[in-house]
Amino acid sequence: MKRPLLTELTLEEKIGQLLMGYQWDINRKTEVDPKIIRTWEEKKAVLEDFKFGSLWAQTGDGNRGTALNSELNREKDFSDEFGAWIQAESDCYEKIPALTCLDAEREGAGTVFGDLTATCPPPVMGATNDEELVYKMGAAIARELRAAGCNWRWTPVVDLCGRFTTSVLRSYAPHDPEKQARLALAHALGMQSEGVAATAKHFPGSGIVHGEGYRDAHFCPTQNTISFEEWEKEQGKVFQTLIDGGVYSIMISHAAFLAVDDSKVNGRPRPSTISKKVITDLLKNKMGFKGVVVTDAIVMGALFSLLPYDELLVEVVNAGNDVILGTFPQAKEILINAVNDGKIEMSRIDDAVTRILDMKEKLGMFEDGYRLVKGKAEDIVPYTKELNIEVARKGITLMRDRNNAIPFDKNKVKKVAIICSTHADHFVDKLDVLKKEFEDRGAEVTIQRRLVNNEALAEISEKNDLIIYATYVGPHEPMGPPSLYGDELKTYLYAFSSGKEKSIGVSFGYPYIHHDIMENADTFVNAYGWSPEMMKAFVEGVYGEIEFKGVFPMKEYDE
């Protein structure tokens, strides 16, 4: 397939390149009943009509999952089936192939595909501080994604942020600009070496409102209030490192960047997503970014309620965004009319299309023999898992051991109690891996959800030689500032009242549990993620089979 010239493309074909198709709009007839699926001929007609430049590979969503999930009545796809499905859709494009995009930002391809690897998340890689290892992991995840038919991943997260944000769960060293940039670039280049475009996000930064506590752009407007001079030295330097290093794409934050653009829209500070000063003047012109600029989802609360949809689309394109994440079917007609009416200059459309085609060319998508699907899971996964073991063992972090309890003698640990606190029910099932690791070393293991009173803990302490307080809080699990709430938090009214000397706290997610909730734990470990390899490394460390080598990649606490 030859890369087309701009002069060979119609306006409709050019506009299509800016649009990212929701797969539920392609495959389902209605939002009301996800099982009403279009026939293949109907899907093909949608693809040929809209000519989407990108397809959003939405998977594993129990509420609005893909047509494939709905048809098979399950939560996760499998790479071979999904890849074949994506390939069939892609084959509908005779002139310009479509990118297939997804987040998979924290636990890699296994987050969404049942036969691929749930990898150690970025904070673990930050704790290793090993660029070569981080590069290899980026490449390994990319190989798995290619097996599922995906070639554009929205990661790395490079926000410098406070601890009460989801970004702290998704980045390498959110309080250290140099380390954040260095490891994020290594991961991005690893991905791109295997034909998956990386995305540095969220430019110009996540937008923490100083003095106003937690705010999330999914729900409400946010602002980045630091001075431009401070931004240039820290957050701007991170993005500049990624730009100079060759990252293919950058995702824009909905946060207003007041130091660059203090204008207002309907009385509210202008989000960066619709700021020409932020995207075109700063990112593209001053910082020299030549790659693809993609919006964050434009249906998020910080943006979507600001303007009517047709006006919002025009603002988004005119600001300098090249790909729009979250386009509805009517977007094509809205943008075509906007160009014809002079509301959007053709030069802006041509700039966007050129950048998109450049990225597709870098990925090899116009080369003879290019196929979106490359490799098979069974051939790729074993290497990723071995690499994951190495990352887990090197990154798992002993936060404190006040009384030198570690290592425990496995010959003396006959019974282990695991007390779980989480809002994510799926995490409870994952603890079966932790249970098996202790059982394989001769212990009898029980798992229970939460504690109800001091008497219950006293009984547990009497019966067990080791008590593990296992917590998990992940991004948006639950929605809101990362923490435990309600009954899940009540456990820590009673925890450590008995058996403190044989108790270990461990977080398989949010890395500040040790400070915010479990200060009473004399021994605490940050595992950062729930992958099987992470759980195995935890048990190995508890028994002294490996040394806890990880160095906490964040500030101990925020002043």
**Angle (nearest 5°) at CA 515 between 179 and 428:** 95
Q: Hunting for tokens 């309907």 — which residue is that?
A: 266
Residue 63: the pLDDT is 36
Helix (H, G, I), strand (E, B) or coil at 237: helix
What's the pTM value of the predicted model, to 2 decimals? 0.93
**Angle (nearest 5°) at CA 86 between 12 and 74:** 125
d(CA 222, CA 214): 10
Residue 214: the pLDDT is 62
d(CA 324, CA 330): 13
d(CA 262, CA 417): 55
Domains and CATH numbers, the chain: 36-197+363-391 (3.20.20.300), 199-344 (3.20.20.300), 396-542 (3.40.50.1700)
pLDDT tens for the 559 residues of the chain, in order: 899 999 999 999 999 999 998 777 777 665 556 567 778 788 888 888 888 999 888 654 433 344 455 455 455 678 888 888 888 888 888 889 999 999 888 999 998 888 999 999 999 999 999 999 999 999 999 999 999 999 999 999 999 988 888 888 999 999 999 999 999 999 999 999 999 999 999 999 975 544 345 667 766 677 888 899 999 999 999 999 999 999 999 999 999 999 999 999 998 899 999 999 999 999 999 999 999 999 998 888 678 788 899 999 999 999 999 999 978 778 999 999 999 999 999 999 999 999 999 999 999 999 988 988 999 999 999 999 999 999 999 999 999 999 999 999 999 999 999 999 999 999 999 999 999 999 999 999 999 999 999 999 999 999 999 999 999 999 888 888 889 999 999 999 999 999 999 999 999 999 999 999 999 999 999 999 999 999 999 999 999 999 999 999 998 764 4
Residue 328: Cβ-neighbour burial (10 angstroms; 0-12, 13-18, 19+): middle
Three-state SS across 510-558? Answer: CCCHHHHCCCCCCEEEECCCCCHHHHHHHHHHHCCCCCCCCCCCCCCCC
d(CA 336, CA 166): 37
Residue 271: the pLDDT is 94
Residue 132: the pLDDT is 98
And the tokens for 416?
A: 């282990």
d(CA 472, CA 421): 7
Outline where DSSP puts E strands in 33-173.
54-56, 99-102, 152-153
